[in-house]
Amino acid sequence: MAKLSTILDQIDSGTVLLPEFQRGYVWNREQVRGLMRSLYRGYPVGSLLVWETEADPGAVRGDGLAAAGVRLLLLDGQQRITTLYGIVRGRPPAFFEGRPETLQGLHFNVELESFEFYAPAKMKADPRWVDVSALFGPEGVQPFMRELLSNPETASQGLALIERLMKLRNLLDREFHQEKITGPDKTIDTVVDIFNKVNSGGTKLSKGDLALAQICADDPSARTTMRANLEKWSEAGYQFKLDWLLRNANAVLTGRAQFSALEDVPAAMFAQGLDRTRRHIETFLQAAQGRLGLDHDRVLMGRYAIPVISRLLELQGGRFANHEERDAILYWYIHTALWGRFTGSVETVLAQDYEVVRRGGIAGLIQSLERWRGGNLRLGAHNFEGYGMGSRFYPLLYLMTRVLEARDFGSGIPLRAEMLGHNSGLQVHHIFPKAYLYEHGYEQYLVNSVANFAFLTQDTNLIIGKRAPAEYLADVAVNQPGALESQWIPTDPELWLPERYPDFLAARQALLAGAANTFLDGLRGGAIPETAAMPVVAPPVDAELDPRRDEIARVIAELRELGCVEPDVDAEIADPESGRVLAVAEAFWPDGLQPGIGDPVVLELDPDEADLPRMEELGYEVFTSTAALVGFVRRRAAAAAGSGDDNGASTTSAMP
């Protein structure tokens, strides 16, 4: 057992460390209020789980000095203890990453014994509303006692109200039960297994979480450096997670897939390896952008192949041997994404590929991929049958548009040309307009087929509007000769009629597959000529949004206010065993609604086009309406607020 005051003092002194996990502070104000209410009423708020481990005596945590010898890494209880630290100390802890306002302005009504956040109209000049952080400050209850006793409205109840102040202040003496994981045999893998068994209903700590915690215990600046790298790439249009960056660093430093390999890496060596990792990733991103036109996050497919490329670059001194090798690596990278190479057990596949790249370089990787695919890396027309911007073949269509110089229907300008200008936008154009197809009775998955997509400039898209394909495609054929062919559009006018739409899709799928195979073969063989650097354009947007798109955006914003993280939108969900596409979800939270809390959550508004039983079998919580999802989150938030639970997890079914 340990008193709250002792735990907070130990955080300041560096004896107790809050692990620097990949996720930051995720609670909302309702959860903060609920925790304080539960503590005040004497309700149980759960025990703490700590990992006792050795650390270098000179290591620093945050702004304070770390204690020598044994350190206690707080595994379960991070949200509760962060909340209490912020409320009691009046400021977030040094490691805080979240919304500071969540911890600011909590007040206690001594008459009603309730907690609310500061509202000037209600609380200003009312002595019954007490600033909780000030109450825990160095002056304690004395200023509030004087005000309550001197105010005519509260003087008659003075003693009772003061007792309530003392009761709240005495929460510093509240004892928390601590479970300790100790012993030299407790590796990262062991600790994660123990934690996830104990806490199976809530937060799932990854092996990367604990590897980073251990690294940052020796060098707190490591996480700051990693965050700076992620922010830099974010500004360039690429969104990566801390866990992903750590995988790359592990590949560079150890050549192993399991995070436990980082246990024996000294802090100085990790810092040096992290800098090399940054350079390797940027070398790849420059190639992906300049050579393939993958210039923003949505089209950067197959990102778990990048640690393998980081490992290859590390073995080669940080550079590609020549442009032929670079193109062969990009060929391998594209195919790993198209066929879902890393859909299943990421660590198992990475371990295999690290060994292959060590023995055989890029040639070995391609041969291994061919064996895994049964010798077949050729694309067929059926591969372009996917639908939505979340399809894994959507990035390939964008890549082909940029690299193979598909031309704009209005201006005739190649869509990779410098004439587009910096940050010029492209738009996703439905060759057969959405409304037009719906009017003719086609279902949503056919309307949003990848084979019905093309990329155009905004001006051209506005000019075309909702004109029938038979009308505007004929104009393009006359005014911009060759533009239709450059976008792999079937030129038979009969296929532009609404009743022939399925035949149009089949014909265009065949054209796309042929062009893709020719390009990929040339990339593998080093036959694609060198070109000038690809200009960066703004991410394409769908100018013909579904009517429900506004509703989905509203729901995501509402969930964000309730403490949920941003989801992936239009996300393709693949079977980890077969790579088969199970759904293209409107929204997908792969790490839970709050990072690491609960199971992956899927919002799928077209259930007839998805394999719901298989997704449920894989542990996804699937919602088929926005109302059901919002209701679930609100119920969970209310339950968490009432219990003060870190996890806010629910065991109820997610299906409406």
Q: What is the DSSP string of 187-205?
A: -HHHHHHHHHHHTTTSB--
Please state which of the ranges 122-131, 232-241, 599-608 shows the lowest mean pLDDT.
599-608
What is the per-residue pLDDT for 79? 85
Strands (DSSP E) contained in 272-400 are none
**Average pLDDT over every residue of 193-202:** 60
**CA neighbours within 13 Å on the CB side: how many for 372?**
20
CA Rg value for the chain: 28
Q: What is the pLDDT of residues 76-123, one digit of tens each?
A: 788 899 999 999 999 887 767 777 888 999 999 999 999 999 988 889
Q: pLDDT value at position 419? A: 55
Query: Could you tell me the two tokens for 550?
Result: 């506004």
Average of per-residue pLDDT across 251-260 = 93
User: What pLDDT does residue 186 have?
Assistant: 73
In this prediction, residue 649 has a pLDDT band, given cuts at 50, 70 and 90, of very low
Q: For the stretch 303-340, what's the b/e string if a residue is b when 16 or more beta carbons lie within 10 angstroms of its beta carbon?
A: bbbbbbbbbbbbeeeeebeeebbbbbbbbbbbbbbbbb
Neighbours of 392 (CB within 10 A): 21
Q: Of 650, 648, 588, which Cα lies nearest the Cα of 615?
A: 588
* Residue type for position 504: F
Beta bridge pairs of residue 573: 583
Q: What is the pLDDT of residue 263?
A: 81
Q: What is the spatial distance between Cα 191 and Cα 368, in angstroms, rounded to a whole number?
A: 34
Alpha helices in 90-141 (DSSP H): 120-123, 132-135
Residue type, 394: Y
- Distance (Å, whole) CA 413 – CA 415: 6
Q: Is the pLDDT of residue 349 over 90?
A: yes
Those residues whose C-beta lies under 8 Å from the C-beta of residue 530, and which sit 6 or more positions away, are 323
Q: How many angstroms from the chain centroid is the CA of residue 513? A: 31
User: What's the pLDDT band for 335 if we cut at 50, 70, 90?
Assistant: very high
Cα–Cα–Cα angle for 319, 207, 218, rounded to 5 degrees: 75
User: Does 95 or 235 have the greater pLDDT score?
Assistant: 235
pLDDT given at position 500: 95
- Position 177 pLDDT exceeds 50: yes
In the predicted model, is pLDDT for residue 437 greater than 80?
yes
Buried b or exposed e, range 443-478, using 16+ CB within 10 angstroms: ebbbbbbbbbbbbbbbebbeebeeeebeebbeebbe
Q: Could you tell me how many helices (H) and strands (E) the chain has, helices first?
A: 25, 18
More confident residue, 188 or 265: 265
Cα 132 to chain centroid, rounded:
34
pLDDT in tens, 379-404: 999 888 877 777 888 999 999 999 99
- Please check the confidence at residue 652 and state whether its pLDDT lies above 60: no
pLDDT digits (tens, 9 = 90+) for 604-634: 888 877 888 888 888 889 999 888 998 888 8
> Is-contact 597 203, C-beta < 8 A?
yes
| Beta pairing, strands 106-109 & 129-131 | antiparallel
Cβ contacts of 366 within 8 Å, gap of 6 or more: 328, 331, 332, 524
Cβ neighbours of residue 274 under 8 Å, at least 6 residues apart? 222, 225, 226, 229, 249
Cβ atoms within 10 Å, residue 183: 9
Q: How many whole angstroms separate alpha carbon 292 and alpha carbon 300?
A: 10
As a whole number of angstroms, the distance between CA 571 and CA 462 comes to 27
Among 92-96, 214-218, 485-489, which is the least confidently predicted range? Answer: 214-218
pLDDT in tens, 256-288: 999 889 888 888 899 999 999 999 999 999 999
Name which of 306, 314, 305 is nearest 369 in CA terms.
305
Structure tokens at 563: 């403490």
What pLDDT is stored for residue 333 in this prediction? Answer: 97
Q: Please, which pLDDT band fits residue 231 given cuts at 50, 70 and 90?
A: very high
3-class SS at 231?
Answer: helix
Select the highest-mean-pLDDT range: 280-284, 370-374, 558-562, 595-599.
280-284
Q: Are 11 and 18 in contact (CB under 8 A)?
A: yes
Instruction: Give the separation between CA 25 and CA 205, rounded to whole angstroms.
Output: 14
What is the model's pLDDT at position 298?
A: 85
Sorting pLDDT into bands at 50, 70 and 90, what band is 69?
low
Which residue is associated with the tokens 């100390």? 89
**In the predicted model, what is the mean pLDDT of residues 303-325?**
95
432, with CB counted inside 10 A (0-12, 13-18, 19+), is buried
pLDDT of residue 651: 28
Most confident of 38-42, 527-531, 609-613: 38-42
Quick one: three-class SS letters along 482-498?
A: CHHHHCCCCCCHHHHCH
Q: How far apart are CA 327 and CA 562, in angstroms?
A: 45
Pairing between β-strand 601-603 and β-strand 621-623 as defined by DSSP bridges: parallel
pLDDT at 455: 92
Mean pLDDT lowest among 26-40, 188-202, 217-231, 340-354: 188-202
Look up residue 470 and give its two tokens. 């038979």
DSSP 67: P
Q: Is a pLDDT exceeding 70 seen at residue 229?
A: yes
How far, in Å, CA of 16 to CA of 405, rounded? Answer: 58
Of 401, 390, 396, 400, residue with least CA distance to 427: 401
**pLDDT by residue (tens digit) across 496-510?**
999 999 999 999 999
Domains of the chain, residue spans: 2-181, 219-372, 381-542, 549-643
